[in-house]
Amino acid sequence: MKNLNDTYTLQNGVKIPVVGFGTWQTPNDEVGYKAVLKALEVGYTHIDTAAVYGNEVSVGKAIKDSGMKREEIFLTSKIWNDAHGYEATLKAFDESLERLDTDYLDLYLIHWPNPLAFRDTWEETNAGTWKAMEELYAAGKIKAIGVSNFCERHIDALLKTAKVVPMVNQIRLCPGDAKEELVAYCEEKKILLEAYSPLGTGKVFEVEALKEMASKYDTTVAKVCLRWSLQRGFVPLPKSITPERIADNADIFGFDISADDLNIISNLTGCCGQSDNPDEKPF
């Protein structure tokens, strides 16, 4: 992997850029618009958003105004917790397309596996959502479908009725929260892992071991963490609204972390907190 244009190949043959630009907590205004525009300007071709982020309009406008062809950009969105189930999913998907001002998505994800509103029927409800997504995929309106925040038990349940195996699982992955068992499970099923919060929501900058790694490789803590994610075979999704950081986070191809140091980073535990149980989220 040499640059942002390099790709992984999903199980259906679709190419996905190895690094994505995340937009969680990015506002749906001029600031958010300029952040996405800057990301595209510095070379990102993979943009990740979601219905609940509330910024699909500004993301879509930035893509339109970038001067890039739609097919040059890999665009992801996610269905929120209040729209699970077959009919609701079809409606939510159309609404995302309208806000993004596009006629297809490259990747569409179930954002959370067990929303509070469907806690007693989550397995059945996910099956209905997935059926709608499979139909949209078969119709060519989505190039690839997947999940987010799913553990092994949630994927196992989905596969009881699914005709298409999820192509992606987007989860929190960062030093100190490496989820080795879930990673191995997904890799065995050829489900690509996307790493959101790859910088541990800022906590990585307080970790002495990572500071030492940054010094050793003459780089920054952020780049060490993003490079770790990349070399582990994940798709990191760094986010920022600061132009300098947007550009800096894209510049992670000039060095390699040794196998021994990758292992040291992977074995850090708890330094950036642990993910919450998705079955206990209060939303």
46 vs 251: CA distance, rounded Å: 15
Structure letter (DSSP) for residue 177: B
Nearest C-alpha neighbor of 225 from the set 240, 241, 204: 204
Bridge partners (DSSP) of residue 148 are 170
From the candidates 44, 53, 137, 196, which is the catalytic residue? 53
Q: Which amino acid is at 242?
A: T
Bridge partners (DSSP) of residue 74 are 46
Residue 44 a catalytic site member: no
Structure letter (DSSP) for residue 164: S
191 vs 232: CA distance, rounded Å: 14
Q: Are strands 168-172 and 192-196 parallel, antiparallel or unpaired?
A: parallel
Q: How many CA atoms lie within 13 A of 62 on its CB side?
A: 31
Nearest C-alpha neighbor of 145 from the set 116, 174, 107: 107
73 vs 17: CA distance, rounded Å: 9
Active site residues: 53
